[in-house]
Chain A
């Protein structure tokens, strides 16, 4: 149905679409996408100027499936949900095709369920646009309770990392090592105990350790693994802090202040 799919995006979708931007591939305009199946259905109904209470199911289903096929204007993470509504449309159509002895009362209309959902959704969407205006008004009025601490020049916005971030950096490192094509004939044995001492020693004087750089110095997979476990152990026992400034950047490690002090007393 080319005449249906080549239409411009609806005004409200266009409003949320980001401004066109220059990219390496030339001039690109990102079209707004339909976040959910009900968004798409409502759009089709409005576009065809259909009375929401009397939807021609066959025509709407055809248009709807046309959009699903093109996949460009729908949020692909939600494909299953789009398909679910497609199935519902087809089911409704099949119900309407069944021969009946008496005419249907309005509340028995197979479309009833869908219509009610659409009406409700439409209401929610309209309320959203009002709330969005209110949000914008409010965001212009700063209150003292919303003040974040003023970030100083030297202060960085740390995010403490989770075990998964650590593991991810570790695997990243392992991959790099594998790519480096080094061959270890027989690595020396490394004990956790020794490694732990080495790590704490490195960190003791308030030193900050670059996680990726440190592992790069490890001679073998075994040694790298042992240091990784040691690091996890230090974090678990709350002796060390691991911090990542941003996703996919290196993780920096240092000893907590009290752990450093305890270390000195030993």
Chain B
């Protein structure tokens, strides 16, 4: 049984190139309460998950978007003629993680956390739009202040900064590293 609400949501998400938020959906479907939309969404997502489809709806970057199923990565890459996936360099990832946990933060502060100059890395992260400049700090030299961007959340499949690895998760990793050496 298909509900009209579910169908229209499917169309809206299909046509969106960026994750579509529930707020945006509610604005389009005037008068439909958010809870109803959320319920229909959950049903829709479940439908895709159980039917074993080649595409799925994922909750990322605070919204919903269609993506291909991870199992078909190889074929998709072949179609797109992408040989290798470009992962972030370890320097980029390190800087990004330092920014994520310390934002808003300046270049000097990031460099201090990492113990290495991060000017160039920040530039590449800016180019990739994973971070953004949000202003200048009222400090000597008025340095630029950086934050992670919306795209950062999407890139890692997060919906908000609250979903960053927690103290507990980090503690677990550290514990594992310690025991693996013992």
Q: Give the interface of A toward B (CB within 8 A).
A: 11-12, 16, 35-38, 46-47, 49, 78, 81, 85, 117, 120-132, 134-145, 147-148, 150-151
Contact = CB atoms under 8 A, between A and B. Distances in A.
Given A134-B157, A145-B17, A124 B98 contact: yes
28 contacts: A16-B90, A35-B90, A35-B94, A35-B116, A36-B114, A36-B115, A36-B116, A49-B181, A81-B115, A81-B117, A120-B113, A121-B115, A124-B94, A124-B98, A124-B113, A126-B174, A127-B100, A127-B170, A130-B170, A131-B96, A137-B70, A138-B157, A140-B73, A141-B56, A143-B67, A144-B17, A144-B65, A151-B81
Nearest to B18: A145
B128 interface: no
Nearest to B156: A134
Interface string B74-85: 001000111001
B94 A128 contact: yes
Contacts of A37: 115-116
Contacts of B112: 117
B159 to A, nearest CB: 12
Chain B interface extent, by class: 35 or more
Contact of B70 (A132, A135, A141, A144): A141
Contacts of B116: 35-37, 78, 81
A86 B17 CA distance: 50
Nearest to B151: A145
Given A35-B90, A46-B177, A126 B73 contact: no
A10 B102 CA distance: 28
Which 7 pairs show the lowest CB-CB distances between chains A and B? A140-B70, A141-B67, A38-B115, A126-B173, A36-B116, A130-B165, A145-B17
B157 A137 contact: yes
Nearest to A12: B177
Interface string B90-124: 11011011101100000000001111110000000
B138 interface: no
A123 B170 CA distance: 6
Interface of B: 17-18, 56, 58, 60, 65-70, 73, 76, 80-82, 85, 87-88, 90-91, 93-94, 96-98, 100-101, 112-117, 155-158, 164-165, 169-170, 173-174, 177-178, 180-182
A142 B165 contact: no
A36 B69 CA distance: 37
A127 B67 contact: no
Contact of B58 (A38, A141, A144): A141
Given A137-B157, A138-B156, A142-B68, A148 B80 contact: yes
Nearest to A11: B180
A143 B58 CA distance: 10
Interface centre among B17, B66, B100, B177 (most CB of A within 10 A): B177
A140 B76 CA distance: 9
A141 B60 CA distance: 12
Contact of B115 (A117, A147, A150): A117
A136 B182 CA distance: 28
Interface centre among B17, B100, B169, B173 (most CB of A within 10 A): B173
A142 B67 contact: yes
